Amino acid sequence: MAGIDAKASDASVGHNGGPPLEQEHRPEWGDGGIGNYFYWKAAHRAAWHNVSPGIVMFRLRKAERLGLTYEEYTLEILERGRHLQIEDVERIAEIKTARSLKRR
Q: Minimal CA–CA distance to 78: which of 100, 57, 59?
A: 59
Tell me if 10 is assigned to some domain: no
pTM given for the model: 0.62
Q: pLDDT band at residue 25, thresholds of 50, 70 and 90?
A: confident
Structural domain total, the chain = 1
Tell me if 57 is assigned to some domain: yes
Q: Minimal CA–CA distance to 17: which of 5, 27, 33, 1?
A: 5
Answer yes or no: is pLDDT of 83 > 60. yes
Answer yes or no: is pLDDT of 31 > 80. no
Query: The domain containing residue 92 runs over which residues?
Result: 52-104
Dist. CA 29–CA 39, nearest whole Å: 12
If one compares 28 and 99, the residue with the highest pLDDT of the two is 99
Three-state SS letters, the chain: CCCCCHHHHHCCCCCCCCCCCCCCCCCCCCCCCCCCHHHHHHHHHHHHCCCCHHHHHHHHHHHHHHCCCHHHHHHHHHHHCCCCCCCCHHHHHHHHHHHHHHHC
Dist. CA 54–CA 51, nearest whole Å: 8
Tell me if 64 is assigned to some domain: yes
Q: pLDDT band at residue 66, thresholds of 50, 70 and 90?
A: very high
pLDDT by residue (tens digit) across 7-19? 555 567 777 777 6
Do residues 95 and 72 make contact, with C-beta atoms less than 8 angstroms apart?
Answer: yes
Tell me if 81 is assigned to some domain: yes
